[in-house]
Amino acid sequence: MAELSVVLTAISHPTRRAMIDRLSRGPAGFLELAKPFDTALNSVTKHLKMLERAGLIARQKHGREVIISLRAEPLKNVAGWVHHYERFWNEQLDEFEHHFKSTKRKEKKR
Amino acid sequence: MAELSVVLTAISHPTRRAMIDRLSRGPAGFLELAKPFDTALNSVTKHLKMLERAGLIARQKHGREVIISLRAEPLKNVAGWVHHYERFWNEQLDEFEHHFKSTKRKEKKR
């Protein structure tokens, strides 16, 4: 399993997140995957290498074509890490909610 | 709200994740936050700037000291993005589970 830092770096670029999104709708050949992106094929190759290093894609040969497919499991580590802090953003929301409710209460009293 | 790419880049470095972890246990002064890391103070400043750009920390002046605290809300976007792919790693686990169960069944039949 690739390190969390490698996975987070891989998903930190919008092009690589768009590639993950495309692959979530099914496997694709290299050119098909490269098509929607306004980048040189060389740059697509670099993005794919970073996704591969993170374990987020797999390549399989089908005849003469290479088919790329999504491997989502490394994202589980990202979810695990971020969930650890869920209560912190919930607490902030609770504080906000509390403030909002008590402001409303005061308004009713007027 | 900072862009998802900026937040993901901010959390992609182990030192910055360790800083978030420290701040989740309460606010800290700059030197206190820098202490556990074997890096130059200059590098700590750079890490803090990236966390600040992502909206993950806030600085407040208390007398002569600057107190740094966690702002976890931008992590909510990370959770939202990664949850979108949850069914993909679950599907992979289901396939594995299915394979595992059918292998066991075959073993019992022997």
Distance (Å, rounded) from C-alpha A61 to C-alpha A29? 10
**Separation in Å, CA of B9 to nearest CA in chain A:** 5
Local confidence pLDDT in tens for the 110 residues of chain B: 679 999 999 999 999 999 999 999 999 999 999 999 888 999 999 999 999 999 999 999 988 889 999 999 999 999 999 999 998 887 765 665 665 566 566 555 55
**Separation in Å, CA of A109 to nearest CA in chain B:** 32
Say which residues have a Cβ less than 8 Å from residue B22's Cβ, sequence separation at least 6.
B28, B33, B36
Chain B contact for A94 (CB, 8 A cutoff): no
Distance (Å, rounded) from C-alpha A52 to C-alpha A35? 19
A residues 14-53 lying closer than 8 A (beta carbon) to B? 14, 17, 20, 24
How many CB atoms neighbour CB B36 within 10 A? 11
CB contacts of A73 in chain B (<8 Å) are 89, 92-93
Q: What is the pLDDT of residue B70?
A: 95
Q: What is the pLDDT of residue B82?
A: 96
Q: Which of B12, B20, B88 sits opposite A5 (nearest CB)?
A: B12
3-state SS assignment for residue B58: strand
CB contacts of A76 in chain B (<8 Å) are 89
**What residues does B68 pair with on adjacent strands?**
B28, B59
pLDDT per residue as tens digits for the range B23-46 = 999 999 999 999 998 889 999 999
Query: What is the mean pLDDT, run by run of 10 residues, along chain A of 110 residues?
Result: 91 97 95 91 95 96 92 95 90 61 58
Q: What is the pLDDT of residue B107?
A: 57
